[in-house]
Amino acid sequence: MTLFDVVFKGNDAVYGLTESAINDAVAKYGEEKAVGFPDTAYCLPCYYSVTGVKVTNLKELKEALGVVKTLMTREQKLNDAFMSGVATALCAEFIEALKYIDGAAPYAEPYYGHLADAIIRELGVPLVTGDIPGVAVILGKAPTAEDAVALVKSYQAQGILVTMVGECIDQCQSLGLNMGYGVRVVPLGADVTSVIHVVSVALRAALIFGNVEPGDSASLMKYTMERVPAFVNAFAPLNEVIVACGAGAIALGFPVITNEETFRVPKSLIVQPDVSKFNATSLEARDIKIKITKIDIPVAFASAYEGEIVRRGDMQVEFDGSRVDCFELVHHKDMSEVEDHHFELIGPDFDEFPVGSKQSIGYIVEVAGKNMQADFEPVFERKFHSYINCIEGVMHTGQRDMIRIRISKATYEAGFRAKDLAEVLYARIKSEFDAVVDKCQVKIYTKAEDCTKLRHEMAIPMFDKRDERLSSLTDETVDVYYSCIMCQAFSPSHVCVVTPERLGLCGAVSWFDAKATNELDPAGPCQVITKERPINEEIGEYEDVNEAVRKFSQGALEDVSLYSIMEKPMTSCGCFECICGIEPFSNGVIITNREYAGMTPLGMTFSELASMTGGGVQTPGFMGHGKHFIASKKFMKAEGGVERIVWMPKELKDTVAEKLNATAKEVYGIDNFTDMIGDETIATDPETLVAFLTEKGHPALGMDPLM
């Protein structure tokens, strides 16, 4: 039997199963029964991406199956095998969709099943920056449970997102491997069809970030092949169904590595009998480069641990800035004042603290370098959160003097002490900012009295000074803005224009960050944009900016305004933190954020709203942005500014309240502006919202119509 015949056979088998499953469902529920997955705006995502048609009920699902059948041609050509692979994947999606009928929750711990749109949007930035260098799909049963765990851990240590299907999950569970999205190990399901849930992620990424038109399957496959660094590890024995699914994966550009002796296709179907070499073989097959982050500490250091949570019961010691005095600080000094790689612990080490106790900590990273500038200090400092979180068994939240760090018992028992914390900070700063940091030393203070003194006498004054400088920094007071195309690996035509009052829409790149990035890597993703030739300062349109945008979007974008969401709004890549959209009944806008899965008064969830924009296209009336932009005086300034905001999810509102209220006070003289803004506890429909706004006398109601 030829390789293609195996694919065809597997495809036929899955098609048969799907056909009867759909028929059974129709018999049981009737044709009008709704089908779909939760928390996605792209139902059914794979079928929608490939064909451009949304399937919402069983009748449409049956029609869709007819379309799938047309893909199942049987010539001995790769195209036929690819299409049959795609057909197999679509059948799998149909089977999986049936499991969700009537809002059922077919997947229970540890399985995840379908993954929400929000997760994909969250993955955008780390995939682009290489923090998640790849996505592994592990399928089947490893020769031994130890092999399975070793493989998963090897990827985890590289920051690769691992998804699993089938018996390898049981194997990992049997050895007590900690699994879950937080540690980047996602068990999808037991059935082979559950693999579609990761395929669905890749295809939605193409729609969300790539602006691929649903139904344009050629562009879809080009996008996944060139931009989604996924690969498959399929354990022997491979049956026809797995081979057919594999053909689908390869069609999308994802190589399959297996330990079964079978046909070989360079860079696509690779036979590696030694499963301990799956990792190296896979990375090479998918051209994935791992940033070397080997740091000499007793526990692992990898981005996979970034989302790990250390629970109270597992905690050896906690440093809690909300209760006692803590702080973290980068301070730049003269070259003569810093001794490279010097570490000083002033106070007791971790082993002198009672188990489970709350302590004070203050750490100062002192840097020196010929090209170092004071402006870089906060840029480095913001990275501490990520650095410390990447340590296995260490959790870090907050920033400045509002930090909380927990160290797990396991990590402590492995020998992790203060010097290791210093080592991580040292190693990361030196490797990431080697262009400006020539020398770096770390001081850690653990005596409560030192921490109190330094916090109030040194840290807070420095923070205040920086804030002062930052708040005096406006779009008008700087000479240049910066472009940021960090996302172009994923969203090829998107360009962010970063200004002091408008940070990148991912929320991760401030004007200072962009400036530092530019100075650290002058040919890199952030380029200087001059602002010498204004066209319309009211909406923030400049000839220089337009030229830059045209250049960096390779001609995809003509012109943008910085302060309007109606006229030539800035584009969105897809990884934005928030999205705002106009709410016509109140003349205002609502804002919703990625974390909020619920409904908005526009009748759409974050996912649905986000699906309308993104991919680097301009969508007047809708705009992706970062959280911190909400309180900016430049937030939709052209349309009247922040007083247009009429609704936000409660949690978001609370987060931005202080700053937003300050802006409203300063610009309009309104006190406690956020009290006038609706949230989901008040209204999720326009009528109730308008009633609430009227009652509160919200200023938007009296403003000019937006449209």
- Which residues form the interface with another protein (CB under 8 A)? 2-4, 76-79, 81-82, 225, 251, 263-272, 277, 280-281, 284-285, 554-555
Question: Least CB distance from residue 80 to another protein, whole Å?
Answer: 8
Question: Least CB distance from residue 261 to another protein, whole Å?
Answer: 12
In angstroms, what CA-CA distances link 264 with 224, 375, 688? Answer: 22, 54, 62
Beta-carbon contacts of residue 465 (< 8 Å; ≥ 6 apart): none
Between residues 80 and 392, which has the closer beta carbon with respect to another protein? 80
Spell out the SS3 assignment of 255-322: CEEECCCCCCECCCEEECCCHHHHHHHHHHHCCCCCCCCCCCCCCCECHHHCCCCCCHHHEEEEEECC
Strands 480-484 vs 526-530: parallel, antiparallel or unpaired: antiparallel
Written as six digits, the tokens of 364 are: 């100062």
Question: Least CB distance from residue 274 to another protein, whole Å?
Answer: 8
Do the Cβ atoms of 326 and 361 come closer than 8 Å? yes
Helix 78-99 / helix 3-29 crossing angle, nearest 10 deg: 30
Between residues 257 and 630, which has the closer beta carbon with respect to another protein? 257
Helix (H) or strand (E) holding 362: strand 361-368
Question: Least CB distance from residue 556 to another protein, whole Å?
Answer: 8
Between residues 251 and 505, which has the closer beta carbon with respect to another protein? 251
Between residues 264 and 465, which has the closer beta carbon with respect to another protein? 264
Distance separating alpha carbons of residues 194 and 241, to the nearest angstrom: 13
Question: Least CB distance from residue 166 to another protein, whole Å?
Answer: 24
Do the Cβ atoms of 617 and 211 come closer than 8 Å? yes
Distance separating alpha carbons of residues 249 and 86, to the nearest angstrom: 8
Question: Least CB distance from residue 331 to another protein, whole Å?
Answer: 46
**455 secondary structure, DSSP code:** I
Question: Least CB distance from residue 281 to another protein, whole Å?
Answer: 4
Distance separating alpha carbons of residues 224 and 200, to the nearest angstrom: 11
Between residues 176 and 266, which has the closer beta carbon with respect to another protein? 266
Between residues 348 and 555, which has the closer beta carbon with respect to another protein? 555
From the number of C-beta atoms within 10 Å of its C-beta (0-12, 13-18, 19+), residue 166 rates as buried
Between residues 187 and 253, which has the closer beta carbon with respect to another protein? 253
Between residues 252 and 656, which has the closer beta carbon with respect to another protein? 252
Between residues 82 and 155, which has the closer beta carbon with respect to another protein? 82
Spell out the SS3 assignment of 166-191: CHHHHHHHHCCCCCEHHHCEEEEECC
Question: Least CB distance from residue 605 to another protein, whole Å?
Answer: 35
Between residues 2 and 694, which has the closer beta carbon with respect to another protein? 2
Between residues 86 and 590, which has the closer beta carbon with respect to another protein? 86
Distance separating alpha carbons of residues 110 and 40, to the nearest angstrom: 21
Between residues 77 and 291, which has the closer beta carbon with respect to another protein? 77
CA-CA-CA-CA torsion sign (268, 269, 271, 275): positive
Question: Least CB distance from residue 617 to another protein, whole Å?
Answer: 16
Between residues 78 and 119, which has the closer beta carbon with respect to another protein? 78
**β-strand partners of 269:** 256, 265
In angstroms, what CA-CA distances link 640 with 406, 624, 634, 706? Answer: 44, 18, 9, 10
Do the Cβ atoms of 559 and 541 come closer than 8 Å? yes
Question: Least CB distance from residue 78 to another protein, whole Å?
Answer: 3
Question: Which of 239, 242, 235 lies closest to 272 in space, CA to CA?
Answer: 235
Between residues 69 and 267, which has the closer beta carbon with respect to another protein? 267
Question: Least CB distance from residue 516 to another protein, whole Å?
Answer: 30
Question: Least CB distance from residue 541 to another protein, whole Å?
Answer: 23
Question: Which of 582, 537, 581 lies closest to 561 in space, CA to CA?
Answer: 537
End-to-end Cα, the chain, rounded Å = 63
Distance separating alpha carbons of residues 589 and 517, to the nearest angstrom: 33
Distance separating alpha carbons of residues 596 and 607, to the nearest angstrom: 10
- SS3 category, 56: coil
Question: Least CB distance from residue 257 to another protein, whole Å?
Answer: 9
Between residues 268 and 518, which has the closer beta carbon with respect to another protein? 268
Question: Least CB distance from residue 6 to another protein, whole Å?
Answer: 11
Angle at 510 between CA 505 and CA 512, to 5 degrees: 160
Distance separating alpha carbons of residues 649 and 653, to the nearest angstrom: 6
Distance separating alpha carbons of residues 272 and 275, to the nearest angstrom: 7
Question: Least CB distance from residue 265 to another protein, whole Å?
Answer: 5
From the number of C-beta atoms within 10 Å of its C-beta (0-12, 13-18, 19+), residue 1 rates as exposed
CA-CA-CA-CA torsion sign (369, 373, 377, 382): negative
